[in-house]
Amino acid sequence: MLIKVLGSAAGGGLPQWNCNGRNSADARKGVGGIVSRTQASVAVSADGRQWVLLNAAPDLRQQINATPELHPAPDGGPRNSPIKAVVLTNGEVDAIAGLLCLREGQPLTVYGTARVLDVLASNSVFDVLDPRMVRRKAVIYGEPFAVEGPSGAVGIEIEAFPVLGKVPLYLEDGKAGVGLGTQEGDTTGLKVTDTASGRHFFYVPGCAKVDEALRARLKGAPLLFFDGTLYTNDEMIAQGLVNKTGERIGHIIMSGEKGSVAQLKPLNIARKVFIHINNSNPVLREGSPERNAVESAGWEVGYDAMEVKV
């Protein structure tokens, strides 16, 4: 199975359009060691011809253009695409807005929890993906399914599972102390398996906290892409960007004893890659103490166009 990281940043990307924080400013200037990133998404293929997207970022058009594997086949007729399906892990803008780039009458299948499909159903702009050609299928936790494109199974099996998270920003009910309205189905992790080889990896781009269920699931995993939004809880506040902590936005931090580096350390995960990295995160800067700390702890910092074979 081939995995291509289309985008590795959190919502907003790096640089973010209106951000003058040090990472965005330096990425914009082309300062060495801080590489621009588009918003998080991964493409997966069992056969190198049919591809499944894990989330559809607002940067999807740019990501497709930068990825030859996702271009139409030259001998495939006037309209064709190797993108056969999209699996959504949440309803945030950075996970779903790219669906709008997949209009123009191309058949494919969109998978998501009932909660996420509700978001699509209640926003009629998504009907631009002609419902006669773009099927929407509900994923149910604990029921693995073979991903199907317009002409059948593509050789990838997915199991979706609940992860502690948060309702999308634009659906917050504002009632502090009630988990910001989070319900089951808001934040999902994926186990992605190559049907033929049985090889698999985990995709968890959003996670508020590592709980016992997640720990049990990830134990001994061969490969994990994991929420790398923030390094410290208050870094967005300290940099004068947004007046919210990591806890408030439903993302675990990397550092500290409750952080992802420490929490996932005992699980013997063979390869660990951070993805969905916010533009405030100091690990984005090569050679920074924070970057060195996560790398010495065995983590890789994901980047756009990163390729992994499993």
Read off the DSSP letter of residue 265. G
The correct pick among 5, 45, 92, 98 for binding Mn ion (CB under 5 A) is 92
Residues binding ligand MLT: what is the number (CB under 6 A)?
9
> Contact between 290 and Mn ion (CB under 5 A)?
no
Nearer to ligand MLT, 207 or 308 (CB): 207
SS3 108: strand
Q: Is 257 exposed, middle or buried (0-12, 13-18, 19+ CB in 10 A)?
A: exposed
Question: 235-264: which residues touch ligand MLT (CB under 6 A)?
Answer: 249
- Rounded Cα distance between 38 and 303, Å, is 9
> Contact between 25 and ligand MLT (CB under 6 A)?
no
Q: How far is the CB of 88 from ligand MLT (least distance, A)?
A: 13
By a kind-dependent CB cut-off of 5 to 8 A, residue 93 interacts, out of Mn ion, ligand MLT, none, with ligand MLT
Q: How many CB atoms lie within 10 A of CB 302?
A: 23
Nearer to Mn ion, 94 or 235 (CB): 94
> Contact between 92 and ligand MLT (CB under 6 A)?
yes
- Rounded Cα distance between 276 and 120, Å, is 22
By a kind-dependent CB cut-off of 5 to 8 A, residue 169 interacts, out of Mn ion, ligand MLT, none, with ligand MLT
Q: What is the DSSP string of 138-187?
A: E--TT--EEEEETTEEEEEEEEEEE-S----GGG----TTTGGG--TTSS
Helices (H) and strands (E) in the chain, counts: 9, 14
Which one of the spans 89-97, 190-198, 249-257, 262-270 is the region binding Mn ion (CB under 5 A)? 89-97
For residue 33, the surrounding DSSP H or E stretch is none
The correct pick among 15, 206, 246, 302 for binding ligand MLT (CB under 6 A) is 206
Q: What is the DSSP string of 226-253?
A: EE--BSSTTHHHHTTS-S--HHHHT--B
By a kind-dependent CB cut-off of 5 to 8 A, residue 249 interacts, out of Mn ion, ligand MLT, none, with ligand MLT
> Contact between 94 and Mn ion (CB under 5 A)?
yes
The correct pick among 11, 168, 228, 250 for binding Mn ion (CB under 5 A) is 11
Binding site for Mn ion (CB under 5 A): 11, 92, 94
Binding site for ligand MLT (CB under 6 A): 10-12, 92-94, 169, 206, 249
